[in-house]
Structure 1
Amino acid sequence: MRLPFFILVVAFTQSSLAQLPANMYGDTANAPFYHGVTSGDPLADQVIIWTKISSSAAIEKVFWELSVYPDFSWINKRDSVVVDASTDFTVKVDVTGLSPSTIYYYRFKDEQGRYSATGTTRTAPLSTDVLSHMRFAVVSCTSVYSGFFNGYKRISERNDIDFVMHLGDYIYDFVDEDEEVRVPSPYPSVPSNLQEWRDRHAYYLLDPDLRAARQQHPWIAIWDNHDLSNIGAPDFDASIQAFYEYLPVRISDPSDSSKLWRKFSYGALMEVYMIDMYTKKDIDLITPTDYHILGQEQDYWLKTELSASTARWKIIGNQKMVAGWSVIGLPSWFPGDGTYLTTSSWDGWDVARDELLLYLKDNAINNVVFMSGDSHVTLVADLSDDPYDPGNYSGSSGAGSIACEFLPTSLTRGNFDEMGISSALLPLATSLSNTANPNHVHAEFVSHGYGIVDVDPDTLVAELWYSDILNQTNIESFSEGYYVLNGMNHWERSTLSTPSASKDTLYLLSNRDILSNRIVAYPIPTSNAIHVSISDEQGQSAIQIHSLEVYNLANGKMVKRKTLRNSEQSVYMDVSDLTSGTFALVIYDDKKEKVGSIKFVKISD
Structure 2
Amino acid sequence: MSRRSLLKGGVAAAGIGAAATVPSTFFAAQAQATSASFRHGIASGDPLPNGVIIWTRIESGGNDVDVRWDLSRDDRFESIAASGTATATASSDHTVKIDVTGLSPATDYWYRFTVQRTDQVSPTGRTRTAPAADADLDRLRFGVVSCSNWEAGFFSAYRHLAARTDLDAIVHLGDYLYEYKRGEFGGRDGVVRQHDPEHEIVSLADYRTRHAQYKTDPDLAALHARLPFICTWDDHETANDAYSDGAENHTPATEGDWHARRAAAMQAYLEWMPVRASGSGRDAKLYRRLRFGTLAELSMLDLRSYRSEQVAPGAGWRSVDAADRSITGAAQLDWLTKGVTTSPTSWRLVGNPVMIAPLVVPPLEPATTAAVTAALGIPQSGVPVNVDQWDGYTADRRRLFGAIDADSVDNVVFLTGDIHSSWAADLPLDAATYPAGKTVGVEFVVPSITSSSPGDFLKAPPRTAAIPAETAITSINRHIRYAELDSHGYGVLDVTPAAAQMDWFYVTEVGDPNAAVRHGASLATQSGISRLQSRSAPVPQ
Same fold (TM > 0.5): yes
- Tell me which amino acid in the other structure corresponds to 2:202: S
Give SS of 2:37's match. Answer: coil
Q: Pick the aligned partner of 1:196 from 186, 202, 206.
A: 206
Establish whether residue 370 from structure 1 lines up as the match of residue 411 from structure 2: no
Structure 2 CA distance for aligned equivalents of residues 450 and 303 of structure 1: 28
- Aligned CA RMSD, in angstroms, stands at 2.2
Counterparts of 1:427-446 in structure 2, within 5 Å, are 427-446=467-486
Identify which of 127, 143, 146 aligns with 1:137.
143
TM score, norm. by length of structure 2: 0.81
1:272 equivalent to 2:298? Answer: yes
- Is residue 2:262 matched to residue 1:224? no
Q: Counterpart of 2:145 in structure 1: which amino acid? A: V
**CA separation of 1:236 and 1:185: change in aligned 2, threshold 3 A:** closer
CA shift at 1:185, angstroms? 7.5
Partner of 1:39: 44
Counterpart CA distance in 2 for 1:500 and 1:186 is 39
**Aligned-pair CA distance for 1:173:** 0.3
Structure 1 residue corresponding to 2:456, chosen from 418, 422, 436: 418
Match of 1:310 in 2: 344
1:499 matched to 2:505: no
| Separation in 1, partners of 2:403, 2:338 | 11
Q: Which amino acid aligns with 1:375?
A: I
Amino acid at match of 1:110: V
2:332 alignment partner in structure 1: 298
User: What amino acid is aligned across from residue 113 of structure 2 in structure 1?
Assistant: F
Tell me, in whole angstroms, the C-alpha distance in 1 between the residues paired with 2:285 and 2:195: 36
* C-alpha distance 50-29 of structure 1, shift in aligned 2 (>3 A): closer
Q: Pick one of 229, 236, 240 that aligns with 2:266.
A: 240
Deviates more, 1:253-262 or 1:193-202: 253-262
Q: 1:48 aligns to what?
A: 53
Q: Give the superposition deviation at 1:58.
A: 2.8
Amino acid corresponding to residue 449 of structure 1 in structure 2: G
Q: Are the structure 2 counterparts of residues 489 and 109 from structure 1 closer, same or farther at C-alpha, using a change threshold of 3 Å? A: same
1:488 aligns with 2:499: no
1:250 aligns to 2:276 (yes or no): yes
Indicate the SS of the match to 1:499.
Answer: coil
Q: Distance in 2 between matches of 1:172 and 1:287?
A: 31
SS in structure 2 of the partner of residue 360 of structure 1: helix
1:109 corresponds to which residue? 114
Provide the C-alpha distance between the structure 2 equivalents of 1:73 and 1:36, rounded to a whole number of angstroms: 22
What SS is found at the alignment partner of 1:209? helix
- Structure 1 residues 177 and 311 mapped into 2: Cα distance closer, same or farther (>3 Å)? closer
CA contact (8 A) 1:379 1:444 kept: yes
Distance across 2 between alignment mates of 1:478 and 1:101:
29
CA offsets, 1:152-178, max 9 Å, x none?
A: 001111121111000000000015445
Q: For residue 62 of structure 1, what is the amino acid of its counterpart?
A: V
Write the deviation string for residues 65-99 of structure 1: whole angstroms up to 9, x where unpaired.
00010111221111110121100000100000000
With 231-240 and 90-99 compared, the bigger mean Cα shift is at 231-240
Deviations 1:483-533 (A, max 9, x none): 1000001112xx22222122xxxxxxxxxxxxxxxxxxxxxxxxxxxxxxx
Letter in 2 for 1:251: A
Aligned to 2:128: 122
Give yes or no for contact 1:178–1:418 (8 Å, CA) kept in 2.
no
1:443-471 CA distance string (max 9 Å, x none): 00000000000011001111001102121
Alignment of 1:70-81 (within 5 A): 70-81=75-86
Is 1:409 matched with 2:447? Answer: yes
What is the aligned length?
461
Once the two structures are TM-superposed, the CA of residue 145 in structure 1 deviates from its matched residue by 0.8
Distance in 2 separating the partners of 1:187 and 1:220: 27
Whole-angstrom CA distance in 1 between matches of 2:121 and 2:472: 56
1:151 is aligned to 2:191: no
Moved >6 Å (runs of 4+): 285-288
Q: Structure 2: which amino acid aligns with 1:348?
A: G
Is the 1:178–1:419 Cα contact (8 Å) retained in structure 2? no
What amino acid does structure 2 have at the position aligned with 1:135? R
Structure 2 vs 1, CA of residues 194 and 378 (structure 1 numbering), >3 Å: closer, same or farther? same
Name the SS of the counterpart of 1:298 in structure 2.
Answer: helix
> 86, 104, 107: which one pairs with 1:99?
104
Map of 1:450 onto structure 2:
490
Query: Is the 2:277–2:288 contact (alpha carbons within 8 Å) kept by the matching residues of 1?
Result: no
Q: How does 1:491-530 map to 2 (within 5 A)?
A: 491-492=532-533, 495-502=534-541
Counterpart code for 1:405: E
**2:104, 2:342 → 1: CA distance?**
25
Map 1:323-342 → 2, pairs under 5 A:
323-327=357-361, 339-342=383-386
Distance 1:480 1:227 in 2: 29
Name the CA shift for 1:303/1:208 in 2 (closer, same or farther; >3 Å).
Answer: same
Distance 2:391 2:69 in 1: 46
327 and 176 in structure 1: CA distance in 2 versus 1, 3 angstrom threshold: farther
- Name the one with the larger helix percent: 2
Q: In the alignment, what sits opposite 1:383?
A: 427
Which residue in the other structure is 1:349 paired with?
Answer: 393
Question: In the aligned structure 2, how far is the partner of 1:412 from the partner of 1:428?
Answer: 23
Task: Report 1 or 2 for greater relative contact order, CA contacts < 8 Å, sequence distance ≥ 6.
Answer: 2
| Match of residue 213, structure 1, among 213, 223, 236 | 223
SS at match of 1:41: strand
Residue 104 of structure 2: SS of its match in structure 1?
A: coil
1:102 is displaced (CA, Å) by 0.3
Q: Cα 1:52–1:187, aligned 2, differ >3 Å: closer, same or farther?
A: closer
Aligned partner of 1:64 in structure 2 is: 69
Alpha carbons 1:27, 1:35 under 8 Å: kept: no
Deviation at 1:289, TM superposition (A): 4.6
Counterpart-to-counterpart distance in 2, 1:304 and 1:105 = 36
What residue is the counterpart of 1:524 in the other structure? Answer: none
C-alpha contact 1:27 1:34 (8 A) present in aligned 2: no
Report SS of the residue matched to 1:375. coil
Of the candidates 519, 523, 532, which is equivalent to residue 478 of structure 1? 519
- Percent of aligned pairs with the same amino acid: 33
Q: Closer, same or farther in 2 for the Cα pair 1:117/1:205, shift >3 Å?
A: same
Give the Å deviation of 1:286. 12
Q: Displacement of 1:29 after TM fit?
A: 3.9
Cα distance in structure 2, aligned partners of 1:157 and 1:453: 16
Q: Which runs of 5+ in 2 are unaligned?
A: 1-27, 246-257, 310-318, 364-381
Structure 2: distance between partners of 1:370 and 1:47: 24
Following TM superposition, by how much is the alpha carbon of 1:296 offset from its aligned partner in structure 2, in angstroms? Answer: 1.2
The 1:369–1:288 alpha-carbon spacing in structure 2 relative to 1, beyond 3 Å, is closer
